[in-house]
Structure 1
Amino acid sequence: MQQRFKTHIERKLPFLFNTPIALAVSGGIDSVVLLDLCRNIKLNCSVLHCNFQLRGQESLQDLQFITALCKTYGVDFHTINFDTKTHAQEAKVSIQMAARDLRYDWFLQQKQELGFSYLLTAHHADDNLETFLINLGRASGLEGLTGIPEINDYIVRPLLPFSRSEIVQYAKAHQIMWREDSSNAESKYIRNKYRHDIIPLIKQMKPDFLENFTKSLQHLNQSNSIVKTTVDQKRDQLFSENNGVIEIPVIKLMELVPLTAFLYELFKPFGFKNGVELLQLLDTLSGKQLISDSHRLIRNREQLLLVPLESNTLEYEYTITQEQESINYPIQLHIEHTELKTEISKDEVLVDKEKLKFPLILRKRQNGDYFYPFGMLGKKKLSKYFKDEKFSLLEKENQWLLCNGDNEIIWIVGARADDRFKITETTTEILKITSLHA
């Protein structure tokens, strides 16, 4: 195995030579064997160990074992203790997910502090098979069935071509000691059920199953590359960006075959993984939307609008005093006195200053808003105006309103003025308000 490992590194992962790397070592057989293999081919490695403090004295003994091992091997050793249970409770995630988040956050921190280029983990071929079966049971897409990636950013998994049995044989042949994690035998974890019950039965029925599975993964990865190329081409054709909003024509989407599969692949990178919900959005009313962890997907007439979720850092409303001549945030407005009663553009409004109550208010829409459209008799609900003018949901949400001190709408900024504040023959003082970026 030592020679095969060296050959694999030389052919597939040569960048691991002559650069500082780190190994994630738990003390179990897989990571200890990886450390021995890397040391034998003289990779410049240090060791990182996480103590999740979940197994009492066992966890402490793991730490003591690895400390002694690294001292024997003469490699740098770095460790950290985590209060995993508290983190899981606060983050409202499982213990397994909490441990994963904690260790990978720390790994990245150590990469920055220690300056290593890559982190090696000891995932092997049997881990790949377990992951495949777990994802298969979750109705995963094709990408979920392509196995654990050998290289993922700075994470490298050089043992993926090797089976658990090969690793065990190597450890015994070289008299390598390791620690057994008692939690690996607990059947409450689905991965352990596959590991101890299902996979051994499969191997008993077909001894070359793991070898054939590994070849199948290679074929699946190649097929996935073809799918990804096709989907990327369609995304480039159909997705067009306009001021940070991606617009997708519904009619063009509907022409794709098979439609549900294309929808899943097109929108999966944005967090939308339910093909049925995406299909329903194509056949629903304008204004309906789906929300993922990172994006909103909105039906807007004959388009879908894809918008990043952004934390709302804007205050709900802003005030403008009588002394201010301009504001630059959240939008730019310029206020000046004028004597001209000329025609103005949609980005300007002339108002009778005597009708204003300062401070003025700049805000977004509120339930029940209405105004008196300039040049018309009677009032109109703001929601009705938005509907008549075919405002999209995003346009409604982004529309600023300039209001009087008593909250009456003076101007739908950049769109329509209110008739109540217009200048008349009796007006003695005119204010001209300009939206510089309406």
Structure 2
Amino acid sequence: MLQKFQNHLLHNFQFLNGKKILLATSGGKDSMVLVHLFQQLKYTIGMAHCNFQLRGMESFEDQNFVQEYAAANAIPVFITQFDTKAFSEDYKISTQVAARELRYNWFYELLETEKFDYILTAHHADDNLETFLINLSRGTGLEGLTGIPEQNDKVIRPLLAFNQKEMEDYAKLNNIKWREDSSNASDKYLRNKIRHHLVPMLKELNSNFLSSFHKTQLYLQDAQVMAEDASIMIYQQVVKQENETIYFDLKKLKKLPNYKSYLYQWLKEFGFKAWDDIYDLVDSQSGKHVFSPEYRVLKDRDYLILSPINFVNVKDKYFIDENQKEVNIPLNLTFCKVADIGIVSNKTIFVDGDKVQYPLILRHWNEGDSFQPFGMNGKSKKVSKFFKDEKLSLLEKENSWLLCSNDEIVWIIGLRQDERFRIDNTTKNILKIQSE
């Protein structure tokens, strides 16, 4: 196996040569085989062990085993302990997910602080098959069937080309000692049930099952690449982006034969889980939305609009004193007295300073708000009707701010000034208000 492993590294992971490598070491057979292989090939390695404190004294015995092996072989070793149960309860996640998060967060910290180049784990072909079957049993797309990636950023899994029997034979041939995890014998976890019952049956049906399975995964990986390429091409036709906001054109989207698949491909990276609710948005009424932890998809007429959730707790009102020259929250405004009227634009207005009453109020619009749009000779108009005429999206309406003097609107910021505060022949004090 050593020669096969060396050739595997040469053809697939040549970039590891000369690098400082951190080996994730549980003390079990697989991770100890990984350590032994890299020792034989004279790589610069360190060992990292996580004590999750889930198996009482057994967890601490594993920790001691790894520490003693590292000391005996003059290998740098890094040990940490986690209160995994408390973490899983605090964040309402499973113990397995909690352990994974804690482990990889710590590994990346070690990369930074100890100047390692890569993290290597001992996942092998049987682990890959088990993961495939777990995902298949729960329902998944192509991603869940393509298997554990050989490389994910700084995490490398060089043993995926090797099966469990090869690992056992190598360990016995080289008299490698390891620790047995007692929990592996229990059928409490789904992975163990699959390992103990389903995988042996599949191997009995086909002695070359792992080899056939590997070929299948390669085909699935090719299919996934094709799907991603098609997704990018269609994305450019259906989507437009303005800063952090993304607009999906529903008329174009619904012409696609499998538009739900495209939506999944485009939105999965934003943390959405309620896919049926997202698909229902396509034919729902305007104003419906679906949230992920950090994003929202909003249905607005002929578009689905994806935007980040604003986590800032925006107050209903902000007050601006007469001597205040600028405002930075919730948006940037500047105030100054000038002698003459300059160029008026959506971002700059000039008002009669004697007509406004302080403190000025900055607030969101409310149903029932009305104003007298500049240039309409004193005719009143509902703000909601103005927004509709301007064809503002629901998102743009939500993000609109009004500058008010008492109960009267001075300016729908960035859109239209109110006629009542305009400059006329009697104006003595000109106030210039500008937004960024």
Confirm or deny a common fold (TM above 0.5). yes
- The equivalent residue for 1:285 is 285
SS in 1 for 2:93: coil
Structure 2 CA distance for partners of 1:275 and 1:76, relative to 1, 3 Å? same
TM-score w.r.t. length of structure 1: 0.91
Q: Which residue of 2 aligns with 1:307?
A: 307
The whole-number CA distance in structure 2 between the counterparts of 1:260 and 1:7 is 43
Instruction: Report deviation, 1:254.
Output: 1.4
Where do residues 341-360 of structure 1 align in structure 2 (5 Å cutoff)? 344-360=344-360
In the alignment, residue 243 of structure 2 is paired with which amino acid? N
Out of 68-77 and 348-357, give the one that drifted further. Answer: 348-357
Whether the aligned pair in 2 keeps the contact of 1:289 and 1:298 (CA below 8 Å) is yes
CA deviation after TM superposition for structure 1 residue 306, in Å: 2.1
Deviations 1:139-186 (A, max 9, x none): 211111100000000000011011112111211122111111112223
Instruction: State the partner residue of 2:192.
Output: 192
Gap regions ≥5 residues in structure 2 = none
> What residue in structure 2 maps to residue 75 of structure 1?
75
TM-score by length of 2: 0.91
Asked if 2 retains the 8 angstrom alpha-carbon contact of 1:17 and 1:44, the reply is: no
Q: Is structure 2 residue 106 aligned with structure 1 residue 106?
A: yes
Counterparts in 2 of 1:355 and 1:171: CA distance versus 1, 3 Å = same
Describe the SS at the equivalent of 2:432: strand
Q: Matched residues in 2 for 1:369 and 1:107: separation? A: 56
Q: Distance in 1 between matches of 2:258 and 2:16?
A: 42
3-state SS, counterpart of residue 319 of structure 1: strand
Structure 1 gap segments, 5+ residues each? none
**2:226 aligned residue:** 226
Deviation at 1:26, TM superposition (A): 0.4
SS in 2 for 1:45: strand
Q: What is the one-letter code of the residue matched to 1:373?
A: Q
Q: Determine if the alignment matches structure 1 residue 22 to structure 2 residue 22.
A: yes
Shift of 1:378: 7.7
Distance 1:419 1:428 in 2: 14
Letter in 1 for 2:175: Q
Counterpart of 1:205? 205
Residue number in structure 2 paired with 1:262: 262
Match of 1:335 in 2: 336
Q: Where does residue 297 of structure 1 map in the other structure?
A: 297
The change in CA–CA distance for 1:429 and 1:187 in structure 2 (over 3 A counts) is farther
SS at match of 1:123: coil
Task: State the Cα deviation string for residues 249-297 of structure 1 (Å, max 9, x = none).
Answer: 2111112222222222232233345554343222222332222233222
What's 2:395 paired with? 394
Matching residue of 2:433: 434
1:8 corresponding residue in structure 2: 8
CA distance 1:212–1:67, shift in 2 (3 Å): same
Task: Confirm or deny: 8 A CA contact 2:335 2:434 kept in the other structure.
Answer: yes
Superposed counterparts of 1:55-66, under 5 Å = 55-66=55-66
Q: Is the 8 A contact 1:423 1:430 kept in 2?
A: no
Aligned to 1:156: 156
Q: Indicate conservation of the 8 Å contact 2:24/2:48, yes or no.
A: yes
Q: Is 60-69 or 350-359 further displaced after alignment? A: 350-359
Give the Å deviation of 1:351: 3.8
1:116 equivalent in alignment to 2:116: yes
Distance 1:137 1:376 in 2: 69
Q: In 2, Cα distance between the equivalents of 1:368 and 1:321?
A: 26
Q: Quick one: distance in 2 between partners of 1:291 and 1:324?
A: 38
Amino acid at match of 1:312: V
- What is the distance in 2 between the residues matched to 1:339 and 1:307? 40
Query: Counterpart in 1 of 2:370?
Result: 371
1:73 Cα deviation after fit = 2.0
**How many Å separate the matches in 1 of 2:390 and 2:111?**
54
- Cα 1:137–1:430 shift into 2, 3 Å: farther
What secondary structure sits across from 1:261 in the alignment? helix
Do the aligned partners of 2:126 and 2:163 also contact (CA within 8 Å) in 1? yes
Shift of 1:239: 2.4
Deviation (angstroms), 1:401: 1.3
Determine the structure 1 residue equivalent to 2:250. Answer: 250
What CA distance in whole angstroms lies between the structure 2 residues aligned with 1:63 and 1:217? 35
Q: Structure 1 residue 64: deviation in Å? A: 0.8
SS in 2 for 1:262: helix
Q: What letter corresponds to residue 410 of structure 1 in structure 2?
A: V
Which residue of the partner structure matches residue 42 of structure 2?
42
- In 2 relative to 1, CA 419–157 (structure 1 residues): closer, same or farther, beyond 3 Å? same
CA apart distance, 1:328: 5.0
Q: Identity of aligned pairs, percent?
A: 41
Local SS of the residue matching 2:47: strand
Aligned partners of 1:320 and 1:350: how far apart in 2? 17
